[in-house]
Amino acid sequence: MYSIGETAKMVGLSAYTLRYYEKEKIISPSRNANGERAFDDQHIKWLQFVIRLKATQMPIAQIREYTELFLEGEHTARQRLELLQAHQLFIQEQLQNLTSVESELQYKIENYERIIASPMK
């Protein structure tokens, strides 16, 4: 079992964020005899997944919804699948947008490189 500080260091989040995730019911650490939060390897794996979802701009509300569905059990598999599929579409749209912007930036960069490389008149 890991303390909140140890867990925060392991996953690269602050203790404040872990407490926030607990308040939002995204994670439910157990408590030790002193009432302190105690995290195990399953919590670490879950937090790593949550961090990846956040990195793809999934809102906390959707992460909470996914968590609630997961905790309800296997009968929610279809709902979880649909939620993840919808988010995957969002990610694909973002990738297309980024690719388009990257192409525009590349054009500008090449143009400036040509201007800088050409002799001054």
What pLDDT band is residue 114 in, cutting at 50, 70 and 90? very high
121 has pLDDT over 70: no
120 has pLDDT over 80: no
Cα angle 45-47-50, degrees, rounded to a multiple of 5: 115
Domain boundaries 4-117, corresponding CATH code:
1.10.1660.10
d(CA 11, CA 49): 10
List the domain boundaries for the chain. 4-117
d(CA 114, CA 40): 56
Helix (H) or strand (E) holding 30: strand 30-31
Place of tokens 């994670």: 27
Place of tokens 């988010």: 87
What pLDDT band is residue 58 in, cutting at 50, 70 and 90? very high
d(CA 39, CA 41): 7
If one counts every other C-beta atom within 10 angstroms of the C-beta of residue 109, the result is 10
According to the model, what pLDDT value does residue 118 have?
A: 87
- Judged by DSSP in three states, 72 sits in helix
